[in-house]
Amino acid sequence: MPLTSRILSSIFTAIPAVLWLLMSTIMNRREYFWITYFIVCIVFVIISLLLGFVVPSLLNETSLRRPWTWILIQAGSAWLAAVIILGLLNLTPLCVGQNNGDGNNNLTQCIVQSGLVAITYSPLELIMLAFCAITGGLVISKIQDKEIPSD
């Protein structure tokens, strides 16, 4: 597996995560939940970059040799990990016991908030993921075609 393909895969996998990180940075309104989102977005970027670099060499040996499938699997897995991490962080004092304006959050409110965030933002993530997978797949395929001499 060429290093350039792995680096490009990592970049295209991390693009949606970087966009979420930018949004969480721009939208920082000093409310209790933005620190949680910021932490999740940083971890999302890191996981995306790591999966984007490691997974292509693993999937290249299987029937999933097309670069767009790598990016789709990697970014989808990173999103799932980010949602799980959000749920875990919302079980901590970063959410539970925080004043939400109508009183303090309890465990149920924090769990419901995690689920609603996942349901609300997943369609937008899937759109970004599909765009990055298609674009990244085309770019990586073109580069791989140039790197592999034809007979």
- On whether the CB atoms of residues 81 and 44 are closer than 8 A, the answer is yes
The three-class DSSP label of residue 128 is: helix
The three-class DSSP label of residue 99 is: strand
Print the domain residue range for 26.
3-147
Q: Across the chain, what does the average pLDDT equal?
A: 87
CA torsion, points 59, 1, 11, 132, in degrees to nearest 10? -50
Domain tally, the chain: 1
Comparing C-alpha atoms, which of 135, 130, 128 is closest to residue 16?
128
pLDDT digits (tens, 9 = 90+) for 33-64: 888 888 999 999 999 999 988 888 787 777 77
Please report, as a single letter, which amino acid is at residue 147.
Answer: E
Q: How many CB atoms sit inside 10 A of residue 113's CB?
A: 18
Which residues pair with residue 120 across a beta bridge? none
- 151 pLDDT band, cuts 50/70/90, is very low
Q: Distance (Å, rounded) from C-alpha 115 to C-alpha 84? A: 10
**Structure token pair of residue 133:** 């997978």
User: What is this structure's pTM?
Assistant: 0.86
Which residues pair with residue 99 across a beta bridge? 104
For residue 45, the model assigns a pLDDT of 95
